[in-house]
Amino acid sequence: MTTDSSTDRVERSIHIKAPRNKVWHSLTNAEEYGKWFGAKLTGKRFEPGQRVQGPITIQGYEHVVFDVVIDRVEPETLMSYRWHPHAVDAGVDYSKEERTLVTFTLKDAADGTLLTVTETGFDKVPPARRMEAFRGVSNGWPHQLDNIARHVTSQTKS
């Protein structure tokens, strides 16, 4: 796992011992994405311009809705969406905030695939919650990358 961050950007990478097409499927098939990310996205599709919502299934966060707008999908190379980072307080209306951009890129690597997630735009998050959101995703993306790696490799073995 590699790390890069500044005040406006979080970047994490992981090497997954699986072919790129398997990683791509788990990343861009909304139902598969939901399985490893922790969201119920049954019947949803990730297509540019599409808003995708579904309840989070992670214990303690069931009150949160996964809510993204798909930005770009470039087959087996890049998928991106916009969302409200670390939007976990049920009493806050995040709809007035600008969304950050989450970009996943895939590259062939020895023995598998290098998956990188980059999230930018924290400088546009309201100052009162900017550092909390930044810390939340800084700590969250490594766990989510581990989740997709486990998911993909378990799918590859079966």
pLDDT of residue 8: 86
* Separation CA 73–CA 103 (nearest Å): 10
- The DSSP H or E segment spanning 116 is strand 112-120
Mean pLDDT on 95-122: 96
The pTM assigned to this predicted structure is 0.93
CB-side exposure of 22: number of CA atoms within 13 Å?
18
Residue-averaged pLDDT of the chain = 93
* 52: nearest Cα among 28, 76, 25: 28
Q: Measured between alpha carbons, how far is 152 from 26 in angstroms, rounded to an integer?
A: 7
Query: Looking at residue 3, what is its pLDDT?
Result: 44
Q: What domains can you pick out in the chain, each with its CATH number?
A: 2-157 (3.30.530.20)
Torsion angle in degrees (nearest 10) through CA of 24, 26, 31, 35: -160
Residues facing 122 on adjacent strands: none
Note the pLDDT of residue 4: 47
Place of tokens 């989740």: 147
Over the stretch 13-59, which tens digit does the pLDDT of each residue have? 999 999 999 999 999 999 999 999 999 999 999 999 999 999 999 99
Model pLDDT, residue 148: 98
Whether the Cβ atoms of residue 4 and residue 11 lie closer than 8 Å to each other: yes
- Edge-to-edge strand ranges of the sheet holding 9-16: 2-5, 9-16, 112-120, 100-109, 78-83, 65-74, 51-55
| Mean pLDDT, residues 131-148 taken together | 95
What are the percentages of helix, strand and coil residues in the chain, rounded to 5?
Answer: 35, 35, 30
User: What's the pLDDT at 29?
Assistant: 98
Alpha-carbon span 42 to 35, nearest angstrom: 10
pLDDT exceeds 70 at position 6: no
Q: What is the pLDDT of residue 157?
A: 62
pLDDT over 90, % of the chain: 91
Per residue in 53-98, pLDDT tens? Answer: 999 999 999 999 999 999 999 999 999 999 999 999 988 999 999 9
What is the model's pLDDT at position 156? 61
Structure-token match 């766990």, residue found: 143
Predicted confidence (pLDDT) at residue 158 exceeds the cutoff of 80: no
Hunting for tokens 């996205």 — which residue is that?
41
Contact (Cβ atoms closer than 8 angstroms) between residue 7 and residue 122: yes
Report residue 95 as tokens: 């709809």
pLDDT at 154: 93
